[in-house]
Amino acid sequence: DLRIMAQVGTTIGLGLLFDTFIVRAFMMPAIATLLGRWFWWPRTDHQRPPRARAERAAYQV
């Protein structure tokens, strides 16, 4: 039925607008502020491996 499809489309559209303008604009920054560093859990700490001597020598030339 066309009326049901219109209701579903309206519901999806309103949900999309709510998510875009309310959740992403206000809720996520507020949650990130409240949680602090725990907001980014699990955090992977990628460190660069030390350079080889040949690479360091090439940059010093």
How far apart are the C-alpha atoms of 45 and 47, rounded to whole Å?
A: 6
pTM over 0.75: no
> Residue 16: what pLDDT?
97
> Residue 19: what pLDDT?
94
pLDDT along the chain (61 residues), means of 10: 97 97 91 88 69 64 57
